[in-house]
């Protein structure tokens, strides 16, 4: 029987040449969710608000990851 596996975010992509593109596309996912939430907000307020909040939180997480990746690249001399 296998134990519980705890998944931890990997930072391998921080060292890739296209790391900024990866972050930009990832942030776009959150921005699109927030934009769709704004569009839906007036028809179904609960769903719209959830999408706006979720998209905003996702973008904040991407910004935090961008800072971490930039620090890792700086420490690696890249």
What's the domain range around 67?
A: 12-76
Instruction: Report yes or no on whether pTM surpasses 0.85.
Output: no
pLDDT in tens, 37-55: 999 999 999 999 999 999 9
pLDDT above 80 for 4: no
- In a domain, residue 69? The reply is yes
Structural domain includes residue 2? no
Would 1 be classed as within a structural domain?
Answer: no
CA 3 distance to own-chain centroid: 28
**Which tokens sit at 17?**
């040449």
């Amino acid at each position: 029987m296998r134990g519980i596996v705890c998944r931890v975010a990997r930072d391998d992509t921080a060292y890739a040449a296209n790391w900024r593109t990866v972050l930009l596309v990832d942030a776009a996912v959150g921005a699109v969710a927030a934009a769709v939430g704004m569009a839906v907000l007036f028809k179904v307020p609960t769903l719209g608000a959830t999408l706006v909040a979720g998209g905003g939180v996702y973008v904040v997480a991407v910004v935090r990851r961008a800072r971490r990746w930039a620090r890792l690249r700086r420490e690696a001399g890249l």
